[in-house]
Chains A and B, each alone.
Chain A
Amino acid sequence: MNFYAIKSIYSFEMARFFRTLAQSLISPVLSTSLYFIVFGAAIGSRIEEVDGVSYGAFIIPGLIMLSLLTQSISNASFGIYFPKFIGSIYELHTAPVSYVEIVLGYVGAAASKSALIGLVILGTATFFVDFTILHPVAMLAFLLLTSVTFSLFGFIIGIWSKNFEQLQMVPLLVITPLVFLGGSFYSVSMLPPFWQTVTMFNPVVYLISGFRWAFFGTADVNIGLSLTMITVFMLLCLGLIGWTYKTGYKIKS
């Protein structure tokens, strides 16, 4: 294992994040604040408690998830797509590194960034609502697990994308709808039975539900099931990355 290589890639990626720290943080913090003002304060005051939690607090886990997913995917996909686009990726492929080091470096950095942003949003939330986190360790674990898993997913999008349009399509067309329909702003139990069944095919439901359990101890689905789903998705991503590099699919001619 080439640890210097992992460190080089990781610190290079993190340096980019800190160089543009303001941009990296302002947009997620701003949009979350807007959500809190609109959904939490304006609309939320007219909505009764959900599962014994005030509506403002209820949407926190979903909002953080929304940022975690979009940030993980965009950071990781951009991180590996950009060197591919400008050609500087030649250096990775001529260095004594295997895909394991490349993935650890890029995905590690992307996951670190989005986990940081998630925590900043959590901090922002404390300015708008009062809440206590029931299972802080589980909350952190879920946050990290989600960041890593979706950074892996973003990495795949980055190496498979042929152009910038493809790079942006998946987060825009797939992730955002899944998160909105995944119970960020409501409890699945509020839906009619038919839509409840449909919702169960949305993988994001399991993430948000598990994350909400870590905060408030209540969930739409069993926490064990949530963990299983995210682990399965992570293994799927790992398998795909391994296969991509083994076969050189879209990497080498």
Chain B
Amino acid sequence: MTTTTAFVDRVRRPAHLAVADLFISFFEKTIMAAILSIQNLSKQYDSGFQALKNVNLEIEEGEILALLGPNGAGKTTLISIICGLVNATSGTATVGGFDVVDEFRKARSLIGLVPQEISLEPFQTVTNALHFSRGLFGKGRDPALIEDILKKLSLWDKRDSKVVELSGGMKRRVLIAKALCHEPRVLFLDEPTAGVDVELRKEMWEVVRQLKADGVTIILTTHYIEEAEAIADRIGVIRSGELLLVEDKDLLMRRMGQRQIRIELMQPIDRIPDALASYNLEYSEEDQSLTYSYEANGERTGITALFSDLGKAGLILRDVETRQSSLEDIFVGLVEDK
């Protein structure tokens, strides 16, 4: 329904229905409007390299989207365009309904960016660096907020240290703290946990979950797939500047994920009996086991038939084990075979 026909409808209908229409359009705006909307975005660098090809993406308020993709896929380029560091060649992006170019002040006020590269003024103290960032975003000093952020990111002990005196992982956390101190509604994390030790990585996931609980929308890129598996609501996969898919994480894992049953036999066999040929079993001589793969969401898994045929073929089972493919398997499969 286009706007004009909606308007005509509204005029012709009785007043109480017109009011209802207004409510509906209001809710459409508030509920349907994505906090981040990217339309037909393309980027060709001056070198002639096409880094993004007609990317479309909508992100709902409060969700965590993980962008996966091999090196050079265009993840940083995409983020840079939205944040104002790179000009798009064509297409548009809006944040909170504000165009990132035409209404950059309003759009950027909502955005926090943690860049991939550690780029910090070396001789500033951690606290001053945060005050500086908040000021840039047009906000007055708020020492209590900054204390809170520093504590959350385990940087409170280092508040008076100069940036140059910090370790790499600490510097990355300073970058995150800087991005948070103007209380953004949309946070971009470009490989936030690169170079961060395992324990701290878990702590940072906790910070991300807390932010999500506060209603912050988070877009993160990562090469650690278990990271996406652990915290993302949706997964986007980019390869060579193309957004291959964006899907709910659980759905994706259910849809693309394969399940396997490993069946250990009592006795070794020379070859797989012909009666079992249709199951495409793999036999491993090493541990005398057969492996059966099936689509987790397939209508018929064929398990019942398999077990009955195994019995008919006279095979005696020692043990049975099932496993599910991880997001990593799915990702590798996607990036390789397309």
Contact = CB atoms under 8 A, between A and B. Distances in A.
Residue in A8, A15, A92 whose Cβ sees the most chain B Cβ within 10 Å: A8
A94 B113 contact: yes
B85 A94 contact: yes
Contacts of A252: 85-87
Interface string B118-147: 011111100010011111111110000000
Contact of B135 (A4, A83, A87, A94): A4
B119 A95 contact: no
Contacts of B121: 12, 83, 86, 88
A7 B104 contact: no
Given A4-B140, A90-B85, A96 B108 contact: yes
Contacts of A228: none
A248 interface: yes
Contact of B83 (A89, A94, A253): A94
Contacts of B87: 248, 252-253
B46 interface: yes
A16 B108 CA distance: 27
A88 B137 contact: no
B84 interface: yes
B46 A94 contact: no
Contacts of A7: 135
B287 interface: no
A4 B139 contact: yes
Given A2-B105, A248-B87, A90 B138 contact: no
Given A86-B121, A90-B119, A253-B86, A95 B108 contact: yes
Contacts of A4: 134-140
A96 B139 contact: no
A107 B119 CA distance: 22
Contact of B84 (A86, A93, A253): A93
A181 interface: no
A213 B200 CA distance: 66
B262 interface: no
Contacts of A89: 119
Contacts of A88: 119-121
B10 interface: no
Given A87-B117, A88-B121, A5 B85 contact: no
B279 interface: no
B165 to A, nearest CB: 15
A4 B138 CA distance: 5
B108 A87 contact: no
A97 interface: yes
Contacts of B86: 252-253
Contact of A91 (B117, B131, B133): B133
Interface string A4-24: 110111001001100100000
Contacts of A91: 133, 136, 178
Given A88-B120, A90-B115, A8 B135 contact: yes
Contacts of B117: 87
A9 B46 CA distance: 31
B120 A95 contact: no
Interface in B121-180: 121-124, 128, 131-140, 178
Given A86-B122, A252-B86, A5 B115 contact: no
Contacts of B108: 94-96
B27 interface: no
A86 B129 CA distance: 15
A5 B135 contact: yes
A253 B113 contact: no
A12 B131 CA distance: 10
Interface of A: 2-5, 7-9, 12, 15-16, 19, 83, 86-98, 248, 252-253
Given A93-B85, A96-B137, 6 more contacts: A2-B105, A8-B134, A86-B119, A86-B121, A94-B108, A96-B105
25 contacts: A2-B105, A2-B136, A2-B138, A4-B136, A4-B139, A5-B135, A5-B138, A16-B123, A19-B123, A86-B119, A86-B120, A86-B121, A87-B117, A87-B119, A88-B121, A90-B115, A90-B119, A91-B178, A93-B85, A94-B84, A94-B85, A95-B133, A95-B136, A96-B137, A96-B138
The 9 closest A-B pairs by CB, nearest first: A87-B119, A8-B135, A95-B136, A96-B105, A96-B108, A2-B138, A94-B83, A4-B135, A88-B119
